Amino acid sequence: MHAIVRGLFVVALLFGFLAQAQAASPIARDLPPGLNVPDAARPGPALDVDRATEAYLALLSPEQRALSDAYFEGGYWLQLWGVLYGVVVAALLLRSGFSQHLRDIGRRVSQRPWLQTMIYAFLWLVVMFVLLLPISIYQEYFREHQYGLATQTFGPWFVDQLKELMVSLIVMSPVIALLYAAVRRAGTRWWVWAGGGVFVFLVFVLMLAPVFVDPLFNDYKPLREGAVRGAVLSLARANQIPTDNVVEFDASRQTTRISANVAGFMGTTRVALNDNLLDKTSLAEIKAVMGHEMGHYVLNHGLRLIVYLTLVITFALWIVHRAMDAALARWGARLKLEGRSDPAALPLALAIFSIVLLLLTPLTNSIVRQAEAEADAFGLDAAGEPNGFAMAAMRLSTYRKLRPGPLEEIVFYDHPSGYDRVHRAMTWLKEHPDNVPAKDSPAASAAKP
């Protein structure tokens, strides 16, 4: 088994260099900078919401749209392959006896069950990192370059992966040890305790990640001077958000995507804009995006999502509990697993957990998508930039399928689709015929020669 791990590591590295060699020709995927409002999206009594929406959708060429669809639909399959690959890895670790071997190492080092589990968890996280490397190199490095979304060469990308591993070792080893302490103490009710632990854990992650984790990967600093700063801070003041919590960060180090986010909880909450958003888009788009992010902040989506996700995860843990006991009764003796409190059975638990979470993605996506739609509505009212919002939605649609079917949207979308967002922005504009920014923004026809 050690030889297999070593071999896979070498293959993964080779694959990485191959990807780097092939990544030389990025595809022209971005929309040109600036806001040019289609004539059909001018405010006034003649505005037709559907025609205005179609005019925005036409900003993407058929080639750009095919590229975006291919990238996004490929992601559906990657979710499935990722889980299947993980299940195969778990089966390998258990049937080869490698997982049981890692548990025995822990037992040789210490008599204490919590320390044995922590040692197992540490070693297991390293092994999983190596075994999952081929799939993460393909998905997060090679494929991102193929679609012109990544900016890092292989070396810096891999250094970021190692940093993520370090964070997961520091955070997850004790968390897994705690989880097993709950399994030993609470018996058949362990999943209730674990659910409570998930809530506390998520609150801590949300509170501490912006302070301790995010700065490992990017530079965060106060928003740059200029017109954008004035407009964004004004929007923050108007919506009761402390202005020293508005920052920018250098996402262009890793990606070409535009984005912004709200991170933190209570004292650490902050609204962050990425530099691609600041460099590539117009003021109207930035204000529209910030209105959306401030919606997350004001509507307290962080805490609400933690509560919902805790419930979903606790349900998943209950299924894991039932399925684990059944699987252990059947194969436990043959695999030399000593019951549910044996850390060597962790790969089995994780395989079941990942299958359950995959089946629950329509639910989790819908929970998140609902919050995103609320933030959209808040942002349109707060920023009053419907054309900026429609334009930003079109930029995001260069790598998110623009117009999914209704079922496809429920299953796979954690944000409203580009079509929905543009349509809602145009609906808002129809109801606000005196909207000043929309009247003042440059027309697409005026920009053409």
Contacts with Zn ion by CB under 5 A lie at: 372, 375
- Shortest reach from residue 289's CB to Zn ion, in Å: 9
Strand partners, 150: 255
Instruction: Give whichever of 119 and 271 is closer to Zn ion, judged by the CB atom.
Output: 271
Instruction: Give whichever of 252 and 259 is closer to Zn ion, judged by the CB atom.
Output: 259
Which pair of structure tokens corresponds to residue 201?
């854990």
- Shortest reach from residue 375's CB to Zn ion, in Å: 5
Q: How many CB atoms lie within 10 A of CB 427?
A: 17
- Shortest reach from residue 260's CB to Zn ion, in Å: 8
For 270, the 3-state DSSP assignment is strand
- Shortest reach from residue 292's CB to Zn ion, in Å: 6
Instruction: Give whichever of 207 and 375 is closer to Zn ion, judged by the CB atom.
Output: 375
Which pair of structure tokens corresponds to residue 122?
């540490």
**153 Cβ partners below 8 Å, 6+ apart?**
20
Which pair of structure tokens corresponds to residue 112?
């204490």
Q: Output the CA–CA distances (angstroms, integers) from residue 186 to 148, 173, 179, 183, 291, in the order listed.
A: 50, 20, 10, 6, 46
Instruction: Give whichever of 64 and 365 is closer to Zn ion, judged by the CB atom.
Output: 365
Residue with tokens 């854990």: 201
- Shortest reach from residue 372's CB to Zn ion, in Å: 5
Q: Kind of pairing, strands 260-263 and 220-222?
A: unpaired
Which pair of structure tokens corresponds to residue 250?
């250098």
Strand partners, 221: 248
Residue type for position 337: L
Spell out a b/e string for 156-182, using b for 16 or more CB atoms within 10 Å of the CB, else e.
Answer: ebbebbeeeeeeebebbbebbbbbbbb
Instruction: Give whichever of 89 and 305 is closer to Zn ion, judged by the CB atom.
Output: 305
- Measured distance CA(254)–CA(140) in Å, rounded: 11
For 391, the 3-state DSSP assignment is helix
- Measured distance CA(172)–CA(188) in Å, rounded: 23
- Shortest reach from residue 296's CB to Zn ion, in Å: 6
- Shortest reach from residue 288's CB to Zn ion, in Å: 12
- Shortest reach from residue 168's CB to Zn ion, in Å: 25
Instruction: Give whichever of 37 and 375 is closer to Zn ion, judged by the CB atom.
Output: 375
- Shortest reach from residue 213's CB to Zn ion, in Å: 20
Instruction: Give whichever of 190 and 412 is closer to Zn ion, judged by the CB atom.
Output: 412
Instruction: Give whichever of 358 and 367 is closer to Zn ion, judged by the CB atom.
Output: 367
Instruction: Give whichever of 372 and 420 is closer to Zn ion, judged by the CB atom.
Output: 372
For 261, phi and psi rounded to 5 degrees? -155, 165
Instruction: Give whichever of 59 and 288 is closer to Zn ion, judged by the CB atom.
Output: 288
- Shortest reach from residue 379's CB to Zn ion, in Å: 9
Q: Kind of pairing, strands 246-249 and 270-274?
A: parallel
**57 Cβ partners below 8 Å, 6+ apart?**
394, 402, 403, 418, 419, 422
- Shortest reach from residue 368's CB to Zn ion, in Å: 9
Q: Output the CA–CA distances (angstroms, integers) from residue 116 to 104, 167, 179, in the order listed.
A: 8, 20, 13
- Measured distance CA(167)–CA(163) in Å, rounded: 6
Instruction: Give whichever of 272 and 375 is closer to Zn ion, judged by the CB atom.
Output: 375
